[in-house]
Homo-oligomer: A and B are copies of this chain.
Amino acid sequence: MPSVTLKMIAKELSLSVATVSKALANSYEISEGTKAIVLEAARKMGYIANPYASSLRKRRSKTVAVVIPEIADSFFAKVINGIEEVALSYGYHVLIYMTHESLSREQAIMQDFRSGRVDGILMSVSEETDTVEHITAVMDSNVPVVFFDRVREELPTTCVITNDFESSYAATEHLISKSCQKIAFVGNSPTLAINRNRESGYKSALKEHNISYENVLICGNDPKSDYKILSSLFKSDGRPDGVILSVEKLIPLLYQVCHDLKVEIPSQLKVLTFTNFAMAEFLNPPLTTINQPAYDIGKVAAQTLFKKLARSNHIAEAESIVLPSEIIFRESSN
């Protein structure tokens, strides 16, 4: 069954292709009568517009891309849901691309976008991303980019983030209030702003409370070496009594390390994590979390992108939209 084209409808109704096209687009140029006839015929014949022909001609794809490190992450999964809701309401398609934390993947993906495949991009950069040329190149070819979560603030566009500094500061103070004296911070990348902000929130709180112990670890993207890095926390002398995880995927590893090294949470180690994870409450022990407003981040980022798409001359200037996170206190930090 070959698909129905405008031409076939036109022939069927003895109209021109142009008229049919306009009628389906509900153009003011076409009489109501004709519109009705065309619509009816299109429905009956099962017409579905060829998106490739239409995109080629219109030079717009009605498609946005979401570029994220990983899909198996409750934060990103929820963000996507938020994005999808907005995109759907605008009649846009959403393409999801995973970088798997690889800069070269990310570069290849962005390169592809210079073809006009998508009208706009929502992006959270990889751990490895320490250059932005691949991003500016796309922006220069008039494809707007909006960042969320893992942003690059130096670029002239909107970043949707949460109050990382403040949350981290509050988290650190919370641990201090639970009489932690040696608090460690585990991040994933020294180059990411999000990580730097959380780290400085942590450090500021320590300074404010005159605590000299500082311990910042950087985990990567390999469970085995990350396991070792986390283990190292407890194998040296300055063994911490509290730890803040900046990365969701480290949760099982940390619980595993504590289990293996018989470090008891929370009596020996208080734990607190940035995450969005539905099961945090039912872990053993229940995990104190900093919940990011993932769904809303997705919505706001998408809305911002569509605003930029609406005006051809969107203003290109750096701007941040900050949505607050929320700390949920549970037993792991008690």
Contact = CB atoms under 8 A, between A and B. Distances in A.
Contact of A111 (B2, B48, B93): B48
Interface stretch (A113-121, A187-195, A225-233, A235-243): A113-121
B116 A52 contact: yes
Interface residues of A, number: 50
A141 to B, nearest CB: 5
A98 interface: yes
Contact of A51 (B2, B96, B117, B284): B117
Given A53-B56, A55-B52, A282-B252, A98 B84 contact: yes
Contacts of A284: 282-286
Interface string A279-301: 10111111000000000000000
A1 B140 contact: yes
Contacts of A255: 279, 281-282
A50 B141 CA distance: 14
A53 B61 CA distance: 12
Q: Which of A1, A55, A72, A115 has the most CB atoms of chain B within a 10 A radius of its CB?
A: A72
Interface in A113-154: 114-117, 140-142
B283 A115 contact: no
Given A1-B142, A95-B95, A72 B61 contact: no
Nearest to A283: B282
A39 interface: no
A238 B78 CA distance: 38
Contacts of A115: 3, 48-51
A95 B98 contact: no
Contacts of A277: 279
A278 B115 CA distance: 38
A205 interface: no
A269 interface: no
Contact of A93 (B46, B95, B116, B283): B95
Contact of A279 (B94, B279, B286): B279
Nearest to A258: B282
A74 interface: yes
A250 to B, nearest CB: 11
Nearest to A2: B141
Contacts of A78: 72
A71 interface: yes
A89 B313 CA distance: 38
Interface of A: 1-3, 46, 48-53, 55-56, 61, 71-74, 77-78, 80-81, 84, 93-96, 98, 111-112, 114-117, 140-142, 251-252, 255-256, 259, 277-279, 281-286
19 contacts: A1-B141, A3-B114, A46-B114, A51-B52, A52-B56, A52-B61, A52-B116, A72-B77, A93-B95, A95-B95, A252-B281, A255-B279, A255-B281, A256-B281, A256-B282, A277-B279, A282-B283, A282-B284, A283-B284
